[in-house]
């Protein structure tokens, strides 16, 4: 199945974040960040709490959290992303995510909007033979912020069908709200449920299987 040309029968658009939603890359984030900090002359170690506390998820915000000077931040971001690009993929899909993707791809337009590189995400999906389930992948290497990319997807597909944004960070929830999408926070990602609930998501999923129930039930209420 391919989603190169979404069918008019598709009932909704579902957008996933990548890191912390489809796969757990926390260990890689910490390791690559420490490596780059050392290269730039910073002795600061990156902790899960640094990522948990970010007001907006992104390597530029993480750099500021770590005390990296502003003039070094573009270099830090580039180098961390280059680590993801160069390293073999050892991280895995969260349990249950593959089934969710295959189920939703049958009647939903699927897309990804992420702070990682598009080619890293695509390489990961190819490894799991899931690349054909997604209509578009928007990485940090495409222009625009997360809100703008969600809006682009909505306008490209249809403003008349529901759009869901699934994320593990406060910034995902805020971007969804700004773009007019239904926000679904997930409890298994890089920021915990208590922090996510402060951003008032429309829904909170405790496990991947919950996503199907939330999306299908909410879409039925929103259907004309």
Q: Which DSSP symbol is given to 136?
A: E
3-state secondary structure of 200: coil
CB 13 within 8 A of CB 104: no
Q: What is the pLDDT of residues 104-134, one digit of tens each?
A: 999 999 999 999 999 999 999 999 999 999 9
- Res. 47: pLDDT tops 50: yes
Q: What is the CATH number of domain 12-24+93-222?
A: 3.40.50.1000
Give the Cα separation of 204 and 168 in Å (integer): 10
List the chain domain ranges: 12-24+93-222, 26-86
Check residue 15 and give left, alpha or beta (phi > 0: left; psi -120 to 50: alpha). beta
Tokens of 186: 């997930």
Instruction: Return the axis-axis angle of helices 146-157 and 170-179, rounded to nearest 10°.
Output: 40
For 170-183, write each residue's pLDDT tens digit.
999 999 999 999 99
pTM comes to 0.91
Residues 75-91, mean pLDDT to the nearest whole number: 96
Give the pLDDT of residue 222: 53
What separation in angstroms does the CA of 76 have from each of 39, 126, 198?
9, 28, 29
Q: What's CA 130's distance to the chain center, in Å?
A: 16
The Cβ of residue 60 has, within 10 Å, a number of other Cβ atoms equal to 16
């Amino acid at each position: 199945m391919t989603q190169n040309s979404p069918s008019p029968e598709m009932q909704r658009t579902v957008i996933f974040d990548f890191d912390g939603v489809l796969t757990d890359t926390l260990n890689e984030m910490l390791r690559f960040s420490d490596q780059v900090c050392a290269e730039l002359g910073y002795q600061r170690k990156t902790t899960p709490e640094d990522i948990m506390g970010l007001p907006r998820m992104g390597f530029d915000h993480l750099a500021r959290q770590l005390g990296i000077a502003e003039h070094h931040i573009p270099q830090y971001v580039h180098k961390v992303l280059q680590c993801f690009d160069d390293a073999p993929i050892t991280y895995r899909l969260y349990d249950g995510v593959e089934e969710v993707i295959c189920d939703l791809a049958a009647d939903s337009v699927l897309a990804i909007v992420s702070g990682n590189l598009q080619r890293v995400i695509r390489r990961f999906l190819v490894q799991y033979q899931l690349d054909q389930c997604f209509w578009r992948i928007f990485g940090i290497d495409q222009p625009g912020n997360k809100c703008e990319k969600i809006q682009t997807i909505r306008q490209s597909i249809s403003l008349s069908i529901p759009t869901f944004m699934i994320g593990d960070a406060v910034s995902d929830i805020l971007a969804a709200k700004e773009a007019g999408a239904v926000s679904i926070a997930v409890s298994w990602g890089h920021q915990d449920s208590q922090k996510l609930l402060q951003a008032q998501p429309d829904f909170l999923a405790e496990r991947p299987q919950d996503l199907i129930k939330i999306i299908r039930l909410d879409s039925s209420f929103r259907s004309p």
